[in-house]
């Protein structure tokens, strides 16, 4: 009985070994799977990067030892803040909606002003 030669799904080289083997080595297997998942992985990586950047910007606005601060929309935008990305929304009893980037949030006030707050730990 002749065995049909299979080729590696990544590099195309002939495979030796088990009958059900698809790749010539671990490097080819990893490269192949990374390429298959690249689009979704890049999307998630870019979103996480933006969320972390937003969080760090909010954190930088609050003085050390303080829990809150005020700033303008122009300052946030100059620092590279992206208002489309946040992790969650909190609505207080007064009906104000705070948008959070992890543990730092912002509340839009009148006249392009924002209140920046350091949130409490929510577990």
7 close to 13: Cβ distance less than 8 angstroms: yes
| pLDDT band per the 50, 70, 90 thresholds, residue 5 | confident
CA pair distance 116, 112, nearest whole angstrom: 13
71-114 pLDDT, tens digit each = 999 999 999 999 999 999 999 999 999 999 999 999 999 999 99
Residue recorded with tokens 């002003």: 113
Residue recorded with tokens 């760090």: 56
Residue recorded with tokens 């839009």: 108
Strands (E), 38-101: 68-72, 88-91, 97-101
């Amino acid at each position: 009985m002749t065995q049909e030669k299979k080729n590696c799904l990544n590099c195309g080289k002939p495979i030796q070994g088990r009958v059900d083997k698809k790749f010539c080595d671990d490097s080819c297997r990893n490269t192949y799977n990374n390429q298959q998942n690249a689009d979704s992985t890049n999307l998630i990586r870019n979103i996480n990067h933006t969320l972390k950047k937003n969080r760090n910007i909010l954190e930088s606005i609050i003085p050390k030892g303080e829990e809150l601060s005020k700033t303008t929309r122009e300052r946030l935008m100059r620092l590279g803040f992206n208002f489309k990305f946040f992790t969650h929304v909190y609505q207080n009893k007064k009906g104000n909606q705070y948008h959070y980037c992890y543990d730092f949030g912002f509340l839009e006030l009148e006249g392009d002003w924002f209140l920046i707050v350091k949130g409490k730990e929510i577990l």
